């Protein structure tokens, strides 16, 4: 077994339902702890025993390969027993409600419940009904806190800081929980945030989120230290929100030419999975300025930090 992390940070709350409400200190504490897990994860012996005896259930009402496996790996590396449940396919079809599922799972006494759901607020609703700690792995268009934390960790490790950076978030802001969590987190840590999107993909009231708003990439990317691209769902690109893939890529797809509008040392991020040729060109996604693969690595470390910091707050009897 490896030595315990030096950080003894405890997240003094039962659930992690969003970035909203987290203090600068709490975010910093999680990132510091995650930094240690990045180091641990690069060793041959990656395993810790801090969650030994604990049960972690991954409850996904919306399919996801990467987030689910990232949480699964994080739980296993900390020594927890991990169970994956994809509910979309089974119980809900039989008419079982979210509440019934919550009560059923709670009876299995999980210590940690990681949940994703297609409806905003669903994770919080479930959190009221269970005894363990709940981690929001994405609820509707509301929040995806571990994504924002892993993005912050990635930025901090590459730029050495977050405060004072200009972060441009581009694409489907309207439907994006990643954008919401990132805007809140980056604002809390003192970054400048700019969102870039066609107006049909901006939520009404966005200007009151403490962000700058741009409708074209040249204006929006000017001076950016970080370019964060968002995924555009297929069903939204055929005339409903934007006229076509071609037009979207023409104006908002990140290629080398548009990336040149940003600072010369700007770094590119994407929460995945990418639509190559829709929101991002392969040459950028795989290029020297891309942090996309690093984000995946940071994801596991951040989720370990969240699970560990929450579990330190769980009752020990």
Partner 1 sequence: MLSDRRPILLANARIVDPSRDFDGPGDVLIADGVIRDTQRGIRAAGVPEGTEIVDCRGRMVAPGLVDMRAFVGEPGAEYRETFASASQAAAAGGVTTIVCQPDTTPVIDDPALVDFILRRARDTAIVHVHPMAALTKGIGGEELAEIGLLKAAGAVAFTDGIRSVTNALVMRRALTYARDFEALVVHHTEDPDLVGEGVMNEGEFAARLGLSGIPKAAETIMLERDLRLVALTGSRYHAASITCAESLDVLRRAKEAGLEVTAAASVNHLTLNEVDIGSYRTFFKVSPPLRAEDDRRALITALASGLVDVVMSDHNPQDVEVKRLPFAEASPGAIGLETMLPAALRLIHDGDLTLLTLLKAMSTRPAELLGLPGGTLRPGSPADVIVVDLEAPWVLDPETLKSKCKNTPFDEARLQGRAVRTIVAGRTVYEYV
Site for partner 1 in 141-180 (CB under 8 A): 141-143, 177, 180
CA distance 308 to 38: 14
**Shorter beta-carbon distance to partner 1: residue 93 or 208:** 208
Of 77, 142, 144, 231, which is the active-site residue?
A: 144
62 sits near partner 1 (criterion: CB under 8 A):
no
122 sits near partner 1 (criterion: CB under 8 A):
yes
Q: How far is the CB of 20 from partner 1 (least distance, A)?
A: 8
Of the candidate spans 81-89, 103-111, 119-127, 288-296, the one that interacts with partner 1 by CB under 8 A turns out to be 119-127
**Shorter beta-carbon distance to partner 1: residue 206 or 307:** 206
CA distance 254 to 197: 12
Q: How far is the CB of 62 from partner 1 (least distance, A)?
A: 12
103 sits near partner 1 (criterion: CB under 8 A):
no
**Shorter beta-carbon distance to partner 1: residue 34 or 179:** 179
139 sits near partner 1 (criterion: CB under 8 A):
yes
Candidate list 53, 204, 239, 315; residue touching partner 1; CB under 8 A: 204
Interface ranges with partner 1 (CB under 8 A): 20, 97-99, 117, 119-122, 124-125, 139-143, 177, 180, 203-206, 208-209
């Amino acid at each position: 077994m490896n030595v315990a992390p030096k950080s003894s940070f405890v997240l003094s709350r039962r659930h992690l339902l969003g970035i909203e409400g987290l203090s600068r200190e709490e975010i910093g504490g999680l990132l510091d702890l995650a930094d240690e897990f990045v180091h641990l994860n690069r060793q041959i012996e990656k395993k810790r025993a801090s969650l030994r005896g604990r049960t972690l259930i991954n409850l996904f009402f919306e399919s996801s390969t990467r987030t689910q496996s990232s949480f699964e790996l994080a739980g296993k590396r900390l020594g927890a027993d991990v169970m994956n449940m994809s509910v979309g396919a089974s119980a809900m079809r039989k008419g079982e409600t979210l509440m019934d599922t919550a009560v059923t799972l709670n009876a299995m006494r999980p210590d940690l419940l990681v949940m994703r759901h297609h409806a905003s607020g669903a994770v919080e609703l479930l959190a009221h009904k269970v005894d363990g700690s709940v981690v929001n792995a994405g609820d509707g268009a509301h929040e995806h806190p571990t994504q924002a934390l892993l993005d912050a960790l990635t930025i901090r490790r590459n730029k050495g800081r977050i405060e004072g950076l200009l972060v441009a978030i581009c694409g489907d802001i309207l439907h994006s929980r990643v954008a919401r969590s990132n805007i809140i987190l980056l604002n809390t840590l003192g970054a400048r945030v700019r969102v870039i999107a066609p107006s049909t993909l901006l939520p009404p009231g966005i200007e009151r989120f403490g962000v700058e708003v741009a409708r074209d990439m040249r204006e929006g990317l000017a001076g950016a230290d970080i370019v964060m691209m968002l995924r555009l769902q297929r069903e939204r690109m055929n005339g409903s929100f934007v006229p076509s893939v071609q037009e979207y890529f023409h104006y908002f797809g990140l290629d080398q030419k548009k990336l040149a509008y940003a600072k010369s040392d700007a770094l590119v991020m994407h929460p995945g999975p990418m639509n190559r040729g829709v929101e991002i060109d392969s040459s950028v996604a795989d290029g020297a300025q891309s942090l996309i693969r690093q984000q995946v690595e940071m994801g596991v470390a951040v989720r370990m930090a969240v699970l560990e910091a929450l579990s330190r707050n769980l009752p020990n009897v």
